[in-house]
Amino acid sequence: MHPAVRRLHDQAEEDWQAFWARAAGMIHWFRPWERVFEWDPPGFRWFIGGETNLAYNAVDLHVQRGRAGQAALIYVNERGERRVLTYAQLHHGVKAVARALRGLGVGRGDRVAIYMPTTPEAIMTMLACARIGAIHLVVFAGFGADALAERMRLSGARLLVTADVTWRKGRTVELLSIARSAVAQAPVERVVVFRRSADAPSLSGRELDWEAFLAGGAGQPDHVEPMEANEPAYILATSGTTAKPKLAVHSHGAYQVGIRAGAEWLYGLKPEDVWWSTSDIGWVVGHSYIVYAPLLTGCTTIAYEGALDYPAPETVYRIIEENGVTGVFTAPTAVRLLMRYGTAPARAHDLSSVQRVFCAGEVLNIPAWEWLQREVFQNRVPVIDHWWQTETGGPVIGNPYGVGLLPIKPGSAGIPLPGMAAEVRTLDGRRCEPGERGIVVLTRPFPSLTPTIWGEPERYGKEYWQRIPGVYFTGDSGYMDEDGYFFFAGRADEIIQVAGHRIGTIEVETAFLHHPDVAEAGVTGRPDELRGEVISAFVVLREGRQPSDELRRELVETVRRHLGPVAVIGDVNFVTGLPKTRSGKIMRRVLKAVVLDRDPGDISTIEDEGSVEEARAAWEEMKAQLEASEGGR
């Protein structure tokens, strides 16, 4: 292990509370804390009595320290539009929105729902809420009315800030009509509308346009509210791939300490960086590493609105070249999307500014890592996988690039970062041996870990700290090798059991990706009389490749070659797209529902509802072939 990494790990294990107290010294406090940590299981508090403000540290401090003219935010969209805001301009905008919020009577502790694309106005609204002590709830501007209404109801939002439209793949998405339907189900007091289109609809009733909203702040104060370290800055719903969403709570002080440390230790963020996280502000990655941590660091952060492959596959590479991007944080889904188009778009652009690339969201399959590491970046920079969740607020397991890069093991998310304590355990709580599969758990809190679920403290304890008593249950399965590297196999409830053998969905999907014609694969188990379960696969081919029975046989053989005869493929279904959440995660429970001929349940978070019907049609065709084959024997 790199000596600097070893030193930080040793310090954390020696006295983990003192370790985090030192990390807290990296941020500005209006008032120092009285006690570092209190734990009343399952809840806990950090830096008790300390006062700070997330937005003040992200914006005001840089202006005060003479960096007002540095670019803080670069906004780019798929239509080719671009805006640059310096720290001074961002500061001015945040104060204007803060006054406007106060003009509507919004204050400390009030919840504000934000249903907007990744734009400067949305980011200024987030920062303004934090500035005045209000709590923002950002809802991804792609969710339907029911999902938005449910989140507003759960949070008790007083105000909704939305836009009239956004654009995706050249299409205009009417956000205001969706917002109006949601407000009818979950009334809020006022709705602020940022109108962008030339034929923007007229407003009525409780609706207020952006200009009138800002004008209403005239004469209102724009001062910063000092917030106790554990007071909420925002609440954010988990991605909803399974059951009713949970609203994770993240605070001004503890969360800030955690993401600021992660920015330095994992991502190596520094003020001179031009940082691009390709996520959306509707997800935790967007909160932590488009908005808050890059601004806390004082670097330049890029906010992108639109599809990464529109209007052409070279969009990503063009943005990197035009803006001199030094650090990229993207998702494995985005990598596999770009793989479909090959390396020609990358070769046409100068990517020499890039120093490092990070991936998270799902496992970065080995073939996808190899393509990005070796073909796109030609082994010039490290491509680093890592792991975290909405609930953890920031990275937990990774390769600490900012401290000292460790050897990269393709397929592994890395090691627990300094101050983190992770293990793999069986469901009965026994610690697993190296190589033995189990549930990844966290054995103690850390500052950015959510201390509760908004309005559901009992659910927090039951779902996170009581599943395996005494440890935090991540819900992800995996194993740790003899060097302490973690390998994730998928969600614990997505393990496939073939003839008594447990196989992770990620492993099978990775095996499919080793075939050069495959762009993406999603798998699930389906019942089998002889083996208990066999594997049902849904495969997306790369551009220009065509489905065939011969290719189907090749894919089965590819999986068998990589995983052995235990990976019994029952069927391979060719589709043009997989059912995914709008954050890019494959909804394997939907694939399970398809092969079991069940209702897929709540799909309000799905990116493309048509993908469900396509998967169902492909499976019906395959099932007919299987039944005909069995009937002929």
Pairing, β 397-398 against β 415-416: antiparallel
Range 295-303 average pLDDT: 98
The pLDDT of residue 490 is 81
pLDDT band at 240 (very low <50, low <70, confident <90, very high): very low
- What does residue 218 show for φ and ψ, rounded to 5 degrees? -60, 130
Q: How far is 605 from 42, CA to CA, in rounded Å? A: 29
The pLDDT of residue 372 is 98
Range 586-601 average pLDDT: 88
Range 406-424 average pLDDT: 97
The pLDDT of residue 631 is 60
Range 45-51 average pLDDT: 98
CB atoms within 10 A of CB 568: 20
Residue 21 half-sphere exposure toward CB, CA atoms < 13 A: 13
pLDDT band at 623 (very low <50, low <70, confident <90, very high): confident
The pLDDT of residue 199 is 85
Torsion of CA 153, 155, 158, 159, to 10 degrees: -90
Range 83-111 average pLDDT: 98
pLDDT band at 630 (very low <50, low <70, confident <90, very high): low
Per the omega criterion (within 30 degrees of 0), is the bond before 600 cis? Answer: no
pLDDT band at 604 (very low <50, low <70, confident <90, very high): low
Residue labelled with tokens 């758990």: 441
- CB neighbour list of residue 543: distance below 8 Å, 6 or more residues apart: 340, 341, 342, 519
Tokens of 73: 């935010």
Range 487-494 average pLDDT: 84
Contact of 33 with 56, CB cutoff 8 Å: no
How much of the chain exceeds pLDDT 70, in percent? 97
pLDDT band at 127 (very low <50, low <70, confident <90, very high): very high
| Lowest mean pLDDT segment, chosen from 53-62, 431-440, 598-607 | 598-607
Contact of 480 with 434, CB cutoff 8 Å: yes
Contact of 49 with 35, CB cutoff 8 Å: yes
Torsion of CA 44, 49, 55, 61, to 10 degrees: -130
Residue 66 has pLDDT above 90, yes or no: yes
Q: How far is 554 from 572, CA to CA, in rounded Å? A: 11
Cα 56-258-410 angle, rounded to 5 deg: 130
Range 285-300 average pLDDT: 98
CB atoms within 10 A of CB 514: 16
Q: List, for residues 242-255, the tens digit of each pLDDT value.
A: 457 899 999 999 99
Residue 474 has pLDDT above 90, yes or no: yes
Sign of CA dihedral 23, 296, 322, 116: positive
pLDDT band at 605 (very low <50, low <70, confident <90, very high): low
Residue 557 has pLDDT above 70, yes or no: yes
Q: Where are the chain's structural domains?
A: 3-307+386-479, 503-631
Residue 632 has pLDDT above 70, yes or no: no
Residue 464 has pLDDT above 90, yes or no: yes
Q: How far is 509 from 527, CA to CA, in rounded Å? A: 19
Could you list the beta-strand ranges (E) of 108-164: 111-115, 135-138, 159-163
Q: List, for residues 130-155, the tens digit of each pLDDT value.
A: 999 999 999 999 888 888 999 999 99
Residue 533 has pLDDT above 80, yes or no: yes
CATH architecture assignment, domain 503-631? 2-Layer Sandwich (3.30)
For all residues of the chain together, what is the average pLDDT? Answer: 93
The pLDDT of residue 114 is 98
In terms of pLDDT, which residue wins out, 233 or 363?
233
Nearest to 414 by CA among 443, 440, 385: 385
pLDDT band at 633 (very low <50, low <70, confident <90, very high): very low
CATH architecture assignment, domain 3-307+386-479? 3-Layer(aba) Sandwich (3.40)
Measured between alpha carbons, how far is residue 515 from residues 404, 553, 561 in Å?
Answer: 34, 12, 11
- What does residue 235 show for φ and ψ, rounded to 5 degrees? -125, 145
Contact of 415 with 387, CB cutoff 8 Å: no
Exposed/middle/buried for residue 516 (C-beta within 10 Å: 0-12, 13-18, 19+): exposed
Tokens of 134: 């209000």
